[in-house]
Amino acid sequence: MDSDTNHKHYILHKPYGYLSQFINNQTKRKNKKLLGELYHFTEGTMAIGRLDETSEGLLLLTTNGKISTHITSSKVEKEYYVMVDGIITQDTINKLKNGIEISVNSKPYITKPCQVFSVEDISKYPIADRFVRDERHGPTSWISITITEGKFRQVRKMTAAVGFPTLRLVRVRIGNRKLNLPVGKVIETRLIGNL
């Protein structure tokens, strides 16, 4: 999918603590950090597939709604590195791979089969060395989860459903585009084909 030359596209390594939006209309969120504080984006720029305030990593932005629709569709994979509470087992990883029941809009939903594996070394990507909790509160482990759907807080719900709550969530890949920027860095780019 070739991008229209009149449109602008950006890649961002979203830091922890930022909302994936530019305007804050909610009084209760008036002190929240917004993406516009990181870079001077072209008017009309939208985040493609938001990351919530406590999530980090690769975020694509565009002024082209067609590209946004394509990337958020089930045709494009999204990979996340997830730090979970406890040492996750292969049996639990297999449950996640095969699809598990979570709640979506207060109704039961079975997630689609996906790719999941343990990650021993996270240095492949520029993930911030951020304090999460003291080691005395128990061990943690990292897994990779690659999905093609994007239900609200899906990855967090998936790990919680198997007894391993998410402590950190970092999106490291969208399609062929990998996280390769320092935290908070933004670059303008061209989105072509499958990214």
CATH number of the domain that 32 lies in? 3.30.70.580
Asked if the structure places residue 63 within a domain, the reply is yes
CB neighbourhood size of 60 (10 A): 23
**Is residue 23 domain-shared with residue 103, that is, in the same domain?**
no
Q: Which domain holds residue 19?
A: 9-73+176-189
Asked if the structure places residue 134 within a domain, the reply is yes
Specify burial of residue 189 (Cβ count, 10 A radius: 0-12, 13-18, 19+). Answer: middle
Short-list 14, 84, 96, 103, CA closest to 55: 14
How far from each other are the two terminal CA atoms of the chain, in whole angstroms? 8
**Is residue 122 domain-shared with residue 45, that is, in the same domain?**
no
**Is residue 26 domain-shared with residue 94, that is, in the same domain?**
no
Rounded (5°) CA angle 173-131-103: 55
pLDDT of residue 195: 63
pLDDT profile of the chain (195 residues), mean per 10: 72 95 66 90 91 95 88 89 97 97 96 97 94 88 95 95 97 95 94 59
pLDDT of residue 29: 60
**Is residue 17 domain-shared with residue 105, that is, in the same domain?**
no
Domain count within the chain:
2
**Is residue 86 domain-shared with residue 163, that is, in the same domain?**
yes
**Is residue 41 domain-shared with residue 88, that is, in the same domain?**
no
The residues carrying an active-site annotation are 52
pLDDT of residue 91: 98
pLDDT of residue 3: 45
pLDDT of residue 74: 81
Instruction: Give CA–CA dist 184/151, Å, rounded.
Output: 25
